[in-house]
Amino acid sequence: MIKTILSAAGEPIFHLTAGDASYVISIFHGFPLHLYAGPAIDDDDVEYLLVRVGHDSVVPRPAHTPEGWFSCDIAPFEYPAYGSGDFRPSAVMAKMLTNAQADGSVPVTGGAPTTAVMYESHEILAGKPVLDTCPAIHAADDECETLVLHCADPATALKYDLYYTVMRDYPAVCRRTVIRNTSADISATLLRAYSASLDFTTVDPQAELVHLWGTWGRERHMERTPLLHGSMSVNSRRGASSHYHNPFAALVTSETTEESGMAVGMSLIYSGNFDITADVDAFGLTRLMAGISPDGFEWRLDPGAEFVTPEAVIVLSGEGLGKMSRVYHKLYRKHLCRGEWADRERPILVNNWEATYFNFDDEKLVAIAEDAAKCGIEMLVMDDGWFGIRNDDRSSLGDWFVNEDKIRCGLGKLVEKVNALGLKFGIWFEPEMISPVSKLYEAHPEWALQTTGRPMSISRSQYVLDMTREDVRDYLFETISGVLSSANIEYVKWDFNRNLTEAGSALLPAERGGEIFHRYVLGLYDLLERLTSAFPHILLEGCSSGGGRFDPAMLYYSPQFWTSDDTDAMERLDIQLGTSFVYPASSMSCHVSASPNHQTGRVTSFTTRGNVAMAGAFGYELDLTKLSDEEKDLIRKQTADYHRYYDIINRGDLYRLVLPTDNYNGKTGKCASWMYVSEDRSEALFTFVVIRTSVHPVYFVKLCGLEPKAVYVDQATGKEYYGSTLMNAGLNLTKNYRDGDSVVVHLVRK
């Protein structure tokens, strides 16, 4: 997987082979430079890619490099440092006295935080070392290899270890950086510390960026935009990865499609403030970098201390965005999600939020469970409102004690009743929050994040707890554990419904203020680690006002996430297909809700609501007691289908055939279509949804991923097709549809 050769100048070149991709690094006069990333190549020494026409007069040249074409301003760096002639966005910027200044031999002068990252030595390790802090990819020793480039700033006591884990079976390279202060007595300050940076040496057709934007109820809409000269950044400064941008972007060219062309994905395993920047310089060279957002970030590195960045996962596809997504799906399902539920079939649940909101009691929940049991639903989830005196969203967060005015029989008894019906029981928490109207706030107002002298902004009538504090985390661990141990609870929905403002901690010294956001995230991970270790059987579902923290790091703890508070099936097409650019079906929680839909008022058939929700961790979010017998029959069919198709959908390959944003060949209205193919290509499940119909439309959809020479049988009609015909001529779906109609075709190889 990792091959080392020596360049003509006697410096190492590393050819990393990840699945069917190559990633080549060269040490050039001490600089770790990037030579290539993409579909596998055979040459190791591709240093020739670096050569540019002479720039000497306009760009600075490092003193130790020969005169000629080399300049830091055009060199493709593996980990670009600030201040010595690379004027593009830098991955690292550190303030520290130079060795000379520290010795006192030269007077200390002021100056910009000039930083350097120069190769010293390297190691190649079997497997992937566990660097304690943020969540990361895990793999067995024979499934990957790790290159560590030990680098240093020759002028200061700072050392930089650049980690590259190369996956054997995936075209994926996982990167993170460890920065160490080796001084015995002098502190350093990190102002930027990205996880990874990737410079593209070759100028391809017009570079474009694919990313996922959104807001509440409209998360992860895919946007594809040409990159112009200058920088484009997707980021969060909200304290959470957020609804607004996902910590993911892909670099593609104007020629890339779903199934062809270059696609380089950069996905950051992190839940806090992040930045992904794509920068195109004057020569058309593109830099793509990902890491903790430098906005407000300032990390003091004491003597002997080290800082470990979150991990960035780079996926290299030469076969379009579809392959990139399929690699992320499998990699995240098998090597990011952990625990008993990582790849296990998830129970079909009914959640009472849209059924009752805050207006429920034990009897109402049991009534819903009774109907659920008759329809093949396997779990009841009791959402917000069961604790403190919470009858609306204005109180009680932090008071995690059962409200026995509502749950009159007590939680233990309620769970027993639900279990007796054959259903599992799940419960909602919003651990990181505190209501100003709560017993907890009366006792510990200092536990809320706040900044001395500044009024605290309120959002959804709540403040955010100071997760950097151990006493806060201990309180949460104990109270939540108390509830979880008091009854047979098999699922937890972990919500997070506001962003961080006036972020300050009573226990953090003023000079460490720039650490608060990252420390918050580390505190969150610590609590999640403690709770998931103490309750390994519990299925954890993440949530953040819908999908406001749907990121890879949360999937490390909670293998499924509530995709969006918008449960409208038509809206979900954009949201779910956008989410599918990175995240596996098993991680997307999708529920059938009432019609007219509560968020949009749109009326959609029960069948289509089911067909759309079937694309993920499936469930219901409506009052089952109000449904007709006909609708309950449909639920019985849907729950049976879910089990029948579970493997194809959740462990198969996804092909996005028509995106809602595509202008579908002008002969039709607006539609969306996707399909899953089982790993051995013996089965496929195709879904087609008409968003807005037109007059006499003509619909042909070309399928993907089948065996061309195999015959596939449509399980509903018995009609037989060759794979080649379905993929090249397409499936003829021409018919007069109504808005919101949908078609599902299950194909089985003969």
Among all residues, which ones are annotated catalytic? 495, 565
The answer to whether 14 contacts ligand GLA (rule: CB under 6 A) is no
Which helix (H) or strand (E) element contains residue 480? helix 470-485
Q: How far is the CB of 359 from ligand GLA (least distance, A)?
A: 13
Q: Which of residues 421-450 bind ligand GLA (CB under 6 A)?
A: 428
Q: How far is the CB of 545 from ligand GLA (least distance, A)?
A: 4
Inter-CA distances, 210 with 226, 256, 290, 314, Å: 9, 11, 14, 14
Using only the alpha carbons of the chain, give its radius of gyration.
27
Q: At what angle do helices 629-651 and 606-613 cross, to 10 degrees?
A: 20
In degrees and rounded to multiples of 5, residue 17 shows phi and psi of -110, 110
Among candidates 186, 162, 183, 185, which has minimal Cα distance to 174?
Answer: 162
Nearer to ligand GLA, 217 or 347 (CB): 217
- Can you tell me which of 546, 578, 619, 705 binds ligand GLA, judged by CB under 6 A? 546
Torsion of Cα atoms, 441 then 445 then 449 then 452, to 10°: 150
Side chain identity, residue 519: R
| Whether 738 contacts 693, CB under 8 Å | yes
Q: How far is the CB of 50 from ligand GLA (least distance, A)?
A: 49
Q: How far is the CB of 561 from ligand GLA (least distance, A)?
A: 10
CA 515 to chain centroid: 22
Among candidates 174, 119, 175, which has minimal Cα distance to 143?
Answer: 174
Q: Which stretch binds ligand GLA (CB under 6 A): 100-108, 141-149, 543-551, 651-659?
A: 543-551
Contact pattern from residue 610 through residue 649 relative to ligand GLA, giving x for each residue in contact according to CB under 6 A and a dash for the rest: ----------------------------------------
- Can you tell me which of 208, 565, 571, 653 binds ligand GLA, judged by CB under 6 A? 565
Among candidates 434, 457, 458, which has minimal Cα distance to 445?
Answer: 434
Give the number of other Cβ atoms within 10 Å of residue 680's Cβ.
Answer: 9
Size of the site for ligand GLA (CB under 6 A): 12
Q: Which of residues 446-505 bind ligand GLA (CB under 6 A)?
A: 495, 497
- Can you tell me which of 353, 387, 556, 664 binds ligand GLA, judged by CB under 6 A? 353
Contact pattern from residue 364 through residue 403 relative to ligand GLA, giving x for each residue in contact according to CB under 6 A and a dash for the rest: -------------------xx--------x----------
Place of tokens 């190492």: 12
Q: 339 CB contacts (<8 Å, ≥6 apart)?
A: 532, 536, 559
Nearer to ligand GLA, 368 or 701 (CB): 368
- Which residue is closest to ligand GLA by CB? 384
Q: How far is the CB of 498 from ligand GLA (least distance, A)?
A: 10
Q: Which stretch binds ligand GLA (CB under 6 A): 207-215, 538-546, 622-630, 659-667?
A: 538-546
CA distance 547 to 543: 6
HEC profile of 273-337: CEEEEEEECCCCCEEEEEEECCCCCCEEECCCCEEECCEEEEEEECEHHHHHHHHHHHHHHHHCC
Question: HSE on the CB side for 425, CA within 13 Å?
Answer: 23
Nearer to ligand GLA, 279 or 432 (CB): 432
Q: How far is the CB of 90 from ligand GLA (least distance, A)?
A: 37
Q: Which stretch binds ligand GLA (CB under 6 A): 43-51, 105-113, 204-212, 541-549?
A: 541-549
Q: Which of residues 209-268 bind ligand GLA (CB under 6 A)?
A: none
Nearer to ligand GLA, 20 or 393 (CB): 393
Q: Is 227 helix (H, G, I), strand (E, B) or coil?
A: coil
Nearer to ligand GLA, 139 or 240 (CB): 240
Sign, Cα dihedral of 49, 52, 58, 63: positive
CA distance 395 to 415: 25
Q: How far is the CB of 463 from ligand GLA (least distance, A)?
A: 16
- Can you tell me which of 543, 657, 685, 690 binds ligand GLA, judged by CB under 6 A? 543
Nearer to ligand GLA, 17 or 587 (CB): 587
Nearer to ligand GLA, 118 or 372 (CB): 372
Nearer to ligand GLA, 368 or 543 (CB): 543
Q: 750 CB contacts (<8 Å, ≥6 apart)?
A: 710, 711, 712, 713, 720
Tokens (6 digits) for 556: 């490390």
Q: Which of residues 285-344 bind ligand GLA (CB under 6 A)?
A: none
Q: How far is the CB of 589 from ligand GLA (least distance, A)?
A: 9
Q: How far is the CB of 397 from ligand GLA (least distance, A)?
A: 10
Q: Which stretch binds ligand GLA (CB under 6 A): 78-86, 295-303, 435-443, 540-548?
A: 540-548
CA distance 440 to 32: 52
CA distance 450 to 462: 13
Nearer to ligand GLA, 25 or 622 (CB): 622
**Which chain residues interact with ligand GLA by CB under 6 A?**
353, 383-384, 393, 428, 495, 497, 543, 545-546, 562, 565
